[in-house]
Structure 1
Amino acid sequence: MDDKQKEELKKKIKIEIEHLTMLVDDLKETVAPVAPDAAIGRLSRLDTMLNQGINKSSISQSRERILKLGDTLKRLDKDPFFGECEECGETISFARLLALPESRFCIECAE
């Protein structure tokens, strides 16, 4: 991977972290408990609770990905083997790294 590709990947990772951080902030507002005395019907309350569960899961997954992307940024500069498959040692395609920067395996080994 050349320096231009590394810079492109860093930029992509930073944009993705920023996007996920904004998503988490937006979703935090939707997971506040529903007051039992709220003037909504039983079905609306159940629907709200279901949506809250989905949003909590999205927050958790987004936070986990933010951590992985942050780790990837650190590895990008420090790990001389960054971009090589941890299973077979072959180069991970740049297209795969752009799609999933945190990938540690080539497509074949990931399957």
Structure 2
Amino acid sequence: MGKLLDLYESQRVTEAKNANVDAEAERVNQAHEIGADIDQLASKLQRHLKPHTVDATRVTVSDGADSEITIDVIEPNLANPGTCFRVAGSQGELAEYNEEELLSFLVDWINAQPRAA
């Protein structure tokens, strides 16, 4: 019976590791998608932004002057599972958003940037 329990526990550990790898890969994909969406929206709105950078699950966007934001794709908080994004601004402000709130924030932030030349 002990070997059967050991096998079961081993399988659970393996499944948990695979779930963590899958969750991390999904967060990396989300970061890349957010960066591409920001670039497309800035272009459509004719706003000047430097090309975004993606470092694993962090997207950094700058207007090339004094405004920069970083967006971290975070693991959902158990108390608020919809909150999956942490945004920090160059002025030190920090907020956490769900997807809808993040998109609304990004539209406002991009609109506030200078027009492309």
Structure scoring higher RCO (CA < 8 A, sep ≥ 6) equals 1
Alignment TM-score, normalising by the size of structure 1: 0.38
**Structure with the higher fraction of residues in helix conformation:** 1
**Structure with the higher fraction of residues in strand conformation:** 2
